[in-house]
Amino acid sequence: MYIALLACFVLSLWASAKVKTTYAKYDKVPNRLRMTGFETAKRLLSMGGVTDISVGRVSGTLSDHYHPTKRIVNLSESTYGSTSVAAVAVAAHEIGHVMQNKNGYLFYRIRTAIVPAVNFGSKLAMPLVLIGLLLEGYLAYSNGTGFQIAMFGVLLYGLSFLFTLVTLPVELNASRRAGEMLRQAGIVTDDEIPAVRKVLSAAAMTYLASMLTSLVSFLRLLFMVLSLSGRRRD
């Protein structure tokens, strides 16, 4: 399990470095229309018939995100005013999330629905596991209350894995939509599409790494609780 965690850690580092280097490479390549990330987002929103979403700017690099409750797409400083292929790819990806929301994409709806439970579970999971294991030490020959509390904490922790699992198809679908929208809008040429895909594929690797890390962490916690509980009962 520790080897698996180490492998996930290395994969995460590699994915993060891959995103940065790929973005940096194509951030130096202007798109043929010289459209900025902001202009790209506005055009794609208009083409999609979306009129109630604003486009804002936030500090940082690759900090772009769509905030559905605030009805805004926030583009990072590196995307907002840039005319690079990388910038329009990232901007289009965020509009892909807008279109998922508008069209009721299943995995996007599931991810949105479980966010409150994930936030709740992430705060209580580890305290419940620790409390359960402590109780299990004193109630080893009783009704297993401590074990039940610990397992409930493990299940709450598992919601984080579920979130990352659902996030992966959401991000992949947003990237696919981004490529299609950019081509339909004529913002990039067929020759530029491979560069767009490389930028978005690199970003997808970070979500895959996150999902695998979350899975291994969940399994590690589950096995730890089962193992410790079993030893104490013996």
Active site residues: 94
| Residue appearing with tokens 């409930």 | 152
Task: Answer yes or no: are the C-beta atoms of 168 and 208 closer than 8 Å.
Answer: yes
State the amino acid at position 148 in one-letter form: Q
Do residues 174 and 93 touch, judged by C-beta distance below 8 A?
A: yes
Contact 128, 156 (CB under 8 A): yes
Token pair of 48 as six digits: 């999609």
Which stretches does DSSP call E strand in the chain?
54-58, 65-67, 72-76
SS3 call for 49: coil
Residue 183 DSSP symbol: H
153 HSE (CA, 13 A, CB side): 23
Q: Which two tokens stand for residue 227?
A: 């193992």
Q: d(Cα 91, Cα 73) in Å, to the nearest integer? A: 9
Structure token digits, residue 209: 């790494």
- CA-to-CA distance for 178 and 200, rounded, in angstroms? 9
